[in-house]
A = this chain, B = another copy of it.
Amino acid sequence: MANIKDIAKQAGVSISTVSYALNGSPKVTDETSARILAIAKELHYIPNAAARNLKKQETKIIGVFLTDFSGSFYGHLLQGMKEGVNQSGYDLVVCSGKQSHQLLPQRMIDGAIVLDETFSSEELLRYADLGHKLVVMDRDLNHPNINQVLLDNKAGATLAVEHLIELGHRKLYVVTGPKGSFDSRQRLQAVKQVIDRHPDLQYIEIEGDFNKSSGALAGIQIAQGYSEPAAVFCLNDEMAIGMYDYLITTDIRIGEDIHIIGFDNIEVTQYTQPRLASIDYSKQKWGLLASEQLLKLIAGNDVEHEHIYVTLVKGKSMGAV
For the complex, is A106 an interface residue (Cβ under 8 Å from B)?
yes
Complex: how many Å from CA A245 to CA B267? 13
Identical copies in the complex? 2
For the complex, is A24 an interface residue (Cβ under 8 Å from B)?
no
- Determine whether the beta carbon of B106 is less than 8 Å from that of A48: yes
How many residues on chain A are close to B (CB under 8 Å)? 47
Complex: how many Å from CA A61 to CA B48? 15
For the complex, is A285 an interface residue (Cβ under 8 Å from B)?
no
Closest chain B residue to A91 by CB distance?
B100
Within residues 79 to 117 of chain A, which ones have a CB less than 8 A from any CB in chain B?
A: 79, 82, 86, 91-97, 99-100, 102-103, 105-108
- Nearest CB in chain B: distance from A48 CB, A: 6
For the complex, is A201 an interface residue (Cβ under 8 Å from B)?
no
- Nearest CB in chain B: distance from A171 CB, A: 28
- Determine whether the beta carbon of B106 is less than 8 Å from that of A82: no
Complex: how many Å from CA A95 to CA B79? 11
Complex: how many Å from CA A75 to CA B211? 15
Within residues 57 to 78 of chain A, which ones have a CB less than 8 A from any CB in chain B?
A: 59, 61, 63, 68-72, 74-76, 78
- Determine whether the beta carbon of A130 is less than 8 Å from that of B50: no
- Nearest CB in chain B: distance from A45 CB, A: 10
Complex: how many Å from CA A252 to CA B245? 22
With A100-B92, A106-B48 known as contacts, the answer to whether A69 contacts B79 (CB < 8 A) is yes
With A75-B71, A78-B69 known as contacts, the answer to whether A100 contacts B107 (CB < 8 A) is no
With a CB–CB cut-off of 8 A, which chain B residues contact A99? 86, 91
- Determine whether the beta carbon of A106 is less than 8 Å from that of B69: no
Complex: how many Å from CA A217 to CA B56? 53
What residues make up the interface of A, taking CB atoms closer than 8 Å to B? 1, 44, 46-51, 53-54, 59, 61, 63, 68-72, 74-76, 78-79, 82, 86, 91-97, 99-100, 102-103, 105-108, 126, 130-131, 245, 248, 271, 273
